[in-house]
Amino acid sequence: MAPVDDEIMPLRLARDRLRYRRVEQIVALGSAQRRAQIGGIFQARRQHIDDDLAEAQRLREQADASLASYEKALAEGRNQAQVIASETHARLAAEAEERRKKLEAALNAKLAEAEKAIAATKTSAMGNVRGIAAGAAAAIVERLIGRAPAEASVAAAVDDALKR
């Protein structure tokens, strides 16, 4: 061994012997006072641990109550949001239906006006067609027979043809 180790080893042994003697003294002095003092230390430590556990339990219960309250408020909020969404959907659907009915009524009115205009135009056109047909028929008959037919007979023939 190195010279330093030779010097350190006896010091370590002396230190360990001193510690061993102290332990022997503490064990040997197992007097009631010393035991009571150690028991008091253990009791104080046990009480501190019990207090910490009780506080941890109280905080856990408080956290559980807060979580339950949060979940209840969240569920109520979701339900309220669902009700609002349903009401809004129903209101918007009713408004859309009302707009659709108004638009449909307006379109039906325009359609009726357009049908009247078409009927008037058709009547006017048919009047023109009748006149044109009568004129054409009179011209054809005049060319074929060499003289102009009576207007009444041409009108009757055109009316008869238009009825078919």
pLDDT tens per residue, range 13-55: 667 777 666 666 666 555 656 667 777 788 888 899 889 899 9
* pLDDT at site 66: 94
142 close to 149: Cβ distance less than 8 angstroms: yes
Q: From CA 62, how far away is CA 84, in angstroms rounded?
A: 33
Q: Do the domain assignments include residue 12? A: no
Q: How far out from the chain centre does Cα 14 lie?
A: 80
Q: Do the domain assignments include residue 145? A: yes
* pLDDT at site 75: 96
Q: Do the domain assignments include residue 53? A: yes
Q: Do the domain assignments include residue 9? A: no
List per-residue pLDDT tens for the chain, 164 residues long.
Answer: 455 555 566 666 667 777 666 666 666 555 656 667 777 788 888 899 889 899 989 999 999 999 999 999 999 999 999 999 999 999 999 999 999 999 999 999 999 999 999 999 888 887 777 788 888 888 888 888 888 888 888 888 888 887 77
Q: Do the domain assignments include residue 36? A: yes
Total count of domains within the chain: 1
Q: Do the domain assignments include residue 149? A: yes
Structural domain harbouring 64: 31-163
Q: From CA 46, how far away is CA 39, in angstroms rounded?
A: 10
Contact residues for 161 (Cβ-Cβ < 8 A; gap 6+): 133
Q: Do the domain assignments include residue 2? A: no
Tracing tokens 């669902």 back to the chain, one arrives at 82
The average confidence (pLDDT) of the chain is 83
What would the two tokens of residue 44 be?
């104080």
* pLDDT at site 141: 84
* pLDDT at site 112: 93
